[in-house]
Amino acid sequence: MRFLDRLQPLALLALRLILGTVMIDHGYGKVFHGGLAHHVQFVSSLGLPGWWAYLSAFTEFFGGMLLIASFLTRFVSLAVLIDMAVAIWKIHWKNGMFGKGGYELPLTLATIAFALIFLGSGPIAFDAIRGGGGAGARPKKT
Indicate if the pLDDT at residue 107 is higher than 90: yes
Mean pLDDT, residues 67-82 taken together: 96
First and final C-alpha spacing in the chain: 34
Total domains in the chain come to 1
CA angle 45, 23, 76 (to 5 degrees): 95
> Residue 132's pLDDT is what?
60
Dihedral class, residue 99 (left if φ above 0, else alpha if ψ from -120 to 50, else beta): beta
Whether residue 55 lies inside any domain: the answer is: no
Whether residue 86 lies inside any domain: the answer is: yes
- C-alpha separations of 15 from 60, 94, 100, 109, 114 in Å: 15, 28, 25, 10, 11
The alpha carbon of residue 139 and the mean position of all alpha carbons in its chain are separated, in whole angstroms, by: 26
Whether residue 83 lies inside any domain: the answer is: yes
Q: Over the stretch 29-72, which tens digit does the pLDDT of each residue have?
A: 899 887 899 999 999 999 999 999 999 999 999 999 999 999 99
| DSSP single-letter state for residue 135 | T
pTM of the model: 0.85
Whether residue 40 lies inside any domain: the answer is: no
> Residue 138's pLDDT is what?
47
The least confident of 12-21, 38-47, 99-108, 130-139 is 130-139
Indicate if the pLDDT at residue 139 is higher than 50: no
Polymer length of the chain: 142
Look up the domain containing 116 and give its range.
Answer: 18-25+60-130
